[in-house]
Amino acid sequence: MMFESHSQLSNNDDMEPMIVRMGSSSKQLPRHLVQFTPEDLRTYLEPIIHKMIASEDSYSFQQPVDPISLKILDYPIIIK
């Protein structure tokens, strides 16, 4: 499996993005699963969630969708 990273920084004079390929051999993968406690998740993810909610762009995603008034009756079937 190969991963590609599109870097915005490049040594090219024309400033084109540089593609870096990294292989995912078994030597590069962790030898054990990483487990997080609920407290770890809360500590690290809660500030990110609060920042997303505070963003002006998140307003429309915070409002419930009314499929009847919007005439998209299959919305509850598609979005579960």
**Model pLDDT for residues 12-70, shown as the tens digit of each residue:** 455 666 666 666 555 666 678 888 999 999 999 999 999 999 999 999 889 999 999 99
Residue 6, phi then psi, degrees to nearest 5 = -95, 100
Q: What is the pLDDT of residue 21?
A: 66
For the beta carbon of residue 67, count every other beta carbon within 10 angstroms: 15
Q: What is the pLDDT of residue 9?
A: 46
Q: What is the pLDDT of residue 8?
A: 46
Residue 47, phi then psi, degrees to nearest 5 = -60, -35
Taking the whole predicted model, whether its pTM rises above 0.85 is answered as no
Is the pLDDT at 4 greater than 90? The verdict is no
